[in-house]
């Protein structure tokens, strides 16, 4: 497995400009984990190459990952390449685990996007690309599977430019294609690299001899690469236009600047499974992706003053870090993964959780290698470490120096779209289940739990059927909890279409002190996805200040339980604008009940409606089944967005209500004799047609 522990410890004083925090992101099955395994092998981090099909990968260490051959949790590791230290995060490709990608991108400095040379840019590649755009992560592209039949380097580059809107810098020309693919020519140095003599690909031949049939292509491609790089740098452009060719060093320096400024995306190619083309990618990480020092100071808000503050990414600054992942470890308990942006952190010291306003003790500090760990005494700026002993810190919290507090930007996660009812099999499982679900929810911000007191069932919410299936499976294996699981249900929501007002009056007289709460509220619809807002417009003390928050609580509770069909309400503003109180009988509980009553009253006059999750669906099918598949999607209330030809197959893009997609995998298999595949991801919420709303309400009644 891993190498002797001294290796990482000896190299930990690598200067910051030689550190690279990178993530590997891609569509499912593009070859992310395989590429990561090769990186670990060539950097000497593992003795032998792990294989997904054999279940021997280092990064996919969970049993469920090895059984299914997919990545579920992002794994972190540290490796070394030519005196450079790489902190690598391998992220999942499956859309159900989008939270893992989101949180990893938030703390990375650079990314490698892996694409399948035959498939080109697929839906999930687009999603992760836009997630990376959101956090302004500079990246490289690695076009993988060049040895696959149907691999098309040029078509993939076109799809990167068209679908991702990226400006590419093609760095290589291929030697051979499909089964004859054996190497690449580096365009900057004009050196040919050929793999073949060593089966594991650790050794390869470098020569100045370019195959005769490729000379023209190399010169032409090199010319356009130099042109592209020069366009980003005025000095080089002047040189280039006056007929002087810039040196390789100048070109590399200009390209590095352009990559860090998101102006260019260098493109490399190879075949990770056949061990070809990975080393030039590692050199590219060193040459073109940023070290923490290349990036601007990290910004945050001072919680005391509310003013903007910055921290330089160096050890000499006050400590600040972002908790981006919680993992429950059977041996050491709760691990909190933290990206350290500035300063240093010592084990046994104290840090301040500025998001929660709580002091935390730093127990042990660990450097992670997938699920193996190594204890360290001090962590430095630019590192990604796991901390044992944090009690209150959750994903997205900032921890910092107590004397110089700062709150960094949080991580936003998508809302879950599917739910299922779960109940323990035995009395003994009951207590264990609550504990297990709590622990899993701590780890996964897109996993929500809600108890239904009327039916005594627990409802769990997630991003998709696979997501929930794996969580139930983990509950069984890691916490020994047996449970009965209901059928997956669509996560409907309720909202309003017009403004309305409502009154809530709660009066109870029962010998002695009574209860009195009375308020008026106004509800106003907001745009899709804009969330909920509570506004206090009470004037002249009509309701004392201490009763406003309880009204808000009552409103929130009523919203969570829904008004039309029991689904949570979203996208609305609630304003409390008037009311009355009683000097003796008014209490927090009375106003909470009044708030709840006022909301239910107002919603009845606000044209309440039900919203349903709409999925973006991409079906890849041989042409002969296209008509049937489009017809079937039409019957599922789909909105067909268009079709694209990809080699021998056609890709159908559509927006389909999730409610219509139950069991779609089986339907599609039987319609296409098992030859069509599909992929889906949440897109947005939309109003449910009237006739279907009536059925939903009737079912709930």
Crossing angle of the two packed helices 234-241 and 248-260, in degrees rounded to 10: 140
What is the Cα–Cα distance from 308 to 558, expressed in whole angstroms? 36
73 vs 230, more confident: 230
Report helix, strand or coil for 17: helix
Q: Which has more pLDDT, 61 or 580?
A: 580
Per-residue confidence (pLDDT) for residue 258, from 0 to 100:
93
- The verdict on residue 696 lying in a domain is yes
Domain CATH number, residue 135:
3.40.50.300
Please state which of the ranges 212-226, 418-432, 521-535 shows the lowest mean pLDDT. Answer: 418-432
pTM of structure: 0.69
**Mean pLDDT over residues 331-345, rounded?**
84
Calpha distance 7→106 (Å, rounded): 28
Instruction: Work out the percent of the chain whose per-residue pLDDT is above 70.
Output: 87
Do both 479 and 619 map to the same domain?
no
Ranges 42-51, 155-164, 293-302, 434-443: which has the least confidence = 42-51
The domain that holds 681 is classified in CATH as 3.30.70.240
CB–CB of 111/137 below 8 Å? yes
State mean pLDDT over 232-248: 86
Q: Which helix (H) or strand (E) holds 591?
A: helix 588-603
Residues 254 and 387 in one domain: no
Residue 495 or 76, more confident:
495
| Beta partners for residue 450, in sequence order | 459
Confidence band, pLDDT 50/70/90 cuts, at residue 103: low
pLDDT of residue 458: 85
Q: Do 498 and 526 meet the contact criterion of CB atoms below 8 Å apart?
A: no
- Coil, helix or strand at residue 566: coil
172 and 276 belong to one structural domain: yes
Distance CA 621, CA 624 (A): 8
Of 630, 696, 615, nearest in space to 662 by CA: 615
Structure confidence at residue 64 as a pLDDT band (50, 70, 90): very low
- List the single range of 256-260, 329-333, 456-460 with lowest mean pLDDT: 329-333
User: Which of 244, 266, 293 is the endpoint of a domain?
Assistant: 293
CATH number (domain holding residue 397): 2.40.30.10
> Residue 552 pLDDT more than 50?
yes
Compute how many other C-beta atoms are within 10 angstroms of the C-beta atom of residue 184. 25
CA atoms of 236 and 258, how far apart (whole Å): 12
For residues 527-549, average pLDDT: 91
Examine the domain organization and report whether 190 and 147 are in the same domain.
yes
pLDDT value at residue 511: 65
- Digit-coded pLDDT (tens) for 348-404: 889 999 988 889 999 888 876 644 677 888 888 888 888 888 888 888 889 999 899
Let me know if residue 278 belongs to a domain: yes
**What pLDDT shows up at residue 452?**
65
Between residues 198 and 137, the one the model is more confident about: 137
Average pLDDT of the chain is 82
Predicted confidence at residue 517, as pLDDT, reads 94
Per-residue confidence at 12, pLDDT binned at 50, 70, 90?
Answer: low
Is there a domain that residue 584 lies in?
A: yes
Report the percentage of the chain scoring pLDDT > 90: 25
Q: Given the DSSP bridges, would you call strands 84-90 and 19-26 parallel, antiparallel or unpaired?
A: parallel
Give the structural domain span for 681: 610-700
Is-contact 347 386, C-beta < 8 A?
Answer: no
pLDDT digits (tens, 9 = 90+) for 609-636: 999 999 888 888 888 899 999 999 999 9
Q: Angle at the Cα of 137 (from 134 to 138), degrees rounded to 5?
A: 135
**Mean pLDDT calculated for residue range 92-117:** 72
Residue 413 lies in a domain: no
pLDDT at 529 over 90: no
Q: Is residue 1 part of a domain?
A: no
Q: Are 463 and 394 in the same domain?
A: no
Of 557, 589, 606, the one marking the end of a domain is 606
What's the token pair of residue 393?
């810190």
Say whether both 367 and 458 belong to one domain. Answer: no
First to last CA, the chain: 57
Rg over alpha carbons for the chain, rounded to the nearest Å, is 28
Highest mean pLDDT among 4-13, 120-129, 380-389: 380-389
Q: Are residues 78 and 213 in the same domain?
A: yes
pLDDT of 127-182, one tens digit each? 778 778 877 889 999 998 888 888 888 989 998 898 888 899 999 988 888 888 88
- Give me the sheet containing 308-311, strands edge to edge: 308-311, 298-301, 407-408
Residue 137 and residue 232 in one domain: yes
pLDDT tens-digit series, residues 458-517:
888 887 777 788 788 888 877 888 888 887 788 899 999 999 999 999 998 776 678 999
Among the listed residues 24, 75, 99, the one whose alpha carbon sits nearest the alpha carbon of residue 682: 99
Q: What is the CATH number of the domain that holds 472?
A: 3.30.70.870
pLDDT score, position 197: 63
Strand, coil or helix: 301: strand
Residue 99 is predicted with a pLDDT of 61
Q: Which of 242-256, 360-374, 434-448 has the highest mean pLDDT?
A: 242-256
Q: Does 157 share its domain with 230?
A: yes
- Note the pLDDT of residue 204: 74
Residue 648 class from Cβ within 10 Å (0-12 exposed, 13-18 middle, 19+ buried)? Answer: exposed
Domain count, the chain: 5
**How would you classify the pairing of strands 139-144 and 110-116?**
parallel
- CB neighbourhood size of 598 (10 A): 31
The per-residue pLDDT for 686 is 92
**Domain identity same for 339 and 276:** no
Q: Record the tokens describing residue 497, joined without a space.
A: 């279409």
At 260 the pLDDT is 92
Q: In the prediction, which pLDDT does 439 show?
A: 81
Give SS3 for 216. Answer: helix
CATH number at residue 598: 3.30.230.10
Q: By three-state DSSP, how is residue 112 classified?
A: strand
Given a cut of 90, whether residue 701 has pLDDT beyond it is no
- Do 648 and 561 sit in the same domain of this protein? no
| Maximal CA-CA distance, the chain | 102
Q: What's the rounded Cα separation, in Å, for the pair 296 and 312?
A: 8
Backbone angles phi, psi at 578, to 5 degrees: -165, 170
Q: Judge whether 111 lies within some domain.
A: yes
- The answer to whether position 637 is within a domain reads yes
Per-residue model confidence as pLDDT tens digits over 635-662: 999 999 999 887 677 889 999 998 898 8
Burial class (CB in 10 A: 0-12, 13-18, 19+), 631: exposed
Integer Cα distance of 328 and 308 in angstroms: 34
Q: Are residues 558 and 463 in the same domain?
A: no
Q: Residue 73 pLDDT more than 90?
A: no
620 forms bridges with which residues in the sheet? 651, 677
372 found inside a domain: yes
Q: Which residues contact 60 (CB under 8 A, 6 or more apart)?
A: 33, 50, 52, 66, 69, 70, 71, 72, 75
Domain boundary residue among 386, 408, 430?
408
- Residue 97 pLDDT level (bands cut at 50, 70, 90): low
When pLDDT is averaged across residues 1-28 and rounded to a whole number, the result is 63
């Amino acid at each position: 497995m891993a190498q002797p522990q001294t290796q990482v410890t000896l190299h930990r004083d690598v200067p910051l400009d030689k550190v690279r925090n990178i993530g590997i992101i891609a569509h499912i099955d593009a070859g992310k984990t395989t590429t990561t395994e090769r990186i670990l092998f060539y950097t000497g981090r593992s003795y032998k190459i792990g294989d997904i099909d054999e279940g021997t990968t280092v990064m996919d260490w969970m049993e469920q990952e090895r059984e299914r051959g997919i990545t579920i949790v992002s794994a972190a590791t540290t490796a070394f390449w030519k005196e450079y230290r790489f902190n690598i995060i391998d992220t999942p490709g499956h859309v159900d685990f989008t939270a893992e990608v989101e949180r990893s991108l938030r703390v990375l400095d650079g990314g490698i996007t892996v694409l399948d040379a035959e498939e080109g840019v697929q839906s999930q590649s687009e999603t992760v690309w836009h997630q990376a755009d959101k956090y302004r992560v500079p990246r490289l592209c690695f076009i993988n599977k060049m040895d696959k039949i149907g691999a098309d380097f040029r078509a993939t580059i076109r799809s990167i430019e068209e679908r991702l809107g990226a400006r590419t810098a093609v760095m290589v020309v291929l030697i051979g294609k499909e089964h004859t693919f054996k190497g690449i020519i580096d365009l900057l140095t004009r050196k040919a690299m050929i793999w073949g003599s060593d089966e594991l690909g650790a050794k390869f031949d470098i020569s100045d001899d370019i195959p005769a049939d490729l000379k023209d292509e190399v010169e032409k491609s090199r010319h356009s690469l130099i042109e592209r790089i020069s366009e980003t740098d005025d000095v080089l452009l002047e040189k280039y236009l006056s007929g002087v060719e810039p040196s390789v060093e100048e070109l590399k320096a200009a390209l590095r600047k352009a990559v860090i400024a998101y102006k260019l995306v260098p493109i490399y190619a190879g075949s990770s499974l056949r061990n070809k083309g990975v080393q030039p990618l590692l050199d590219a990480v060193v040459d073109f992706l940023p070290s923490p020092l290349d990036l601007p100071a990290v910004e945050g808000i001072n919680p005391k003053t509310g003013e903007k503050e910055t921290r330089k990414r160096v050890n000499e600054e006050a400590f600040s870090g972002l908790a981006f992942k919680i993992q429950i470890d059977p041996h050491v308990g709760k691990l909190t993964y933290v990206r350290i942006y500035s300063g240093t952190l010592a084990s046994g010291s104290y840090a301040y959780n500025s998001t929660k306003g709580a002091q935390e003790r730093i127990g042990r500090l660990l450097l992670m290698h997938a699920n193996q760990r190594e204890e360290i005494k001090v962590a430095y700026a630019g590192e990604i470490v796991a901390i044992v002993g944090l009690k209150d810190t959750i994903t997205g919290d900032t921890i910092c120096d107590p004397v110089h507090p700062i709150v960094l930007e949080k991580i936003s996660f998508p809302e879950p779209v599917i739910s299922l009812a779960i109940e323990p099999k035995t009395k003994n499982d009951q207590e264990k289940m609550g504990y297990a679900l709590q622990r899993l929810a701590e780890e996964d911000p897109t996993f929500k739990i809600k108890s239904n007191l009327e039916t005594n069932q627990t409802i769990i919410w997630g991003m998709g059927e696979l997501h929930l299936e794996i969580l139930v499976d983990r509950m069984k294996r890691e916490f020994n909890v047996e449970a009965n699981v209901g059928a997956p249900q669509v996560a409907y929501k309720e909202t309003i279409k017009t403004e309305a007002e409502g009154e809530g009056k709660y009066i109870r007289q029962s010998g002695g002190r009574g209860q009195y709460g009375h308020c008026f509220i106004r509800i106003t619809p907001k745009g899709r996805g804009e969330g909920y807002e509570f506004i206090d417009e009470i004037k002249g003390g009509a309701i004392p200040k201490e009763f406003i928050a309880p009204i808000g609580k009552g409103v929130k509770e009523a919203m969570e339980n829904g008004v039309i069909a029991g689904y949570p309400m979203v996208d609305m503003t609630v304003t409390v604008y008037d009311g009355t109180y009683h000097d003796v009988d008014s209490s927090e509980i009375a106003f909470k009940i009044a708030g709840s009553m006022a909301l239910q009253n107002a919603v009845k006059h606000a044209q309440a409606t039900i919203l349903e999750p709409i999925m973006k669906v991409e079906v890849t099918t041989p042409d002969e089944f296209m008509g049937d598949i489009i017809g079937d999607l039409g019957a599922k209330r789909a909105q067909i967005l268009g079709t694209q030809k990809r080699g021998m197959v056609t890709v159908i893009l559509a927006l389909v209500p999730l409610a219509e997609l139950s069991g779609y995998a089986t339907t599609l298999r039987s319609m296409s004799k098992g030859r069509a595949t599909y992929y889906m991801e949440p897109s947005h919420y939309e109003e449910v047609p009237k006739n279907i709303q009536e059925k939903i309400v009737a079912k709930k009644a």
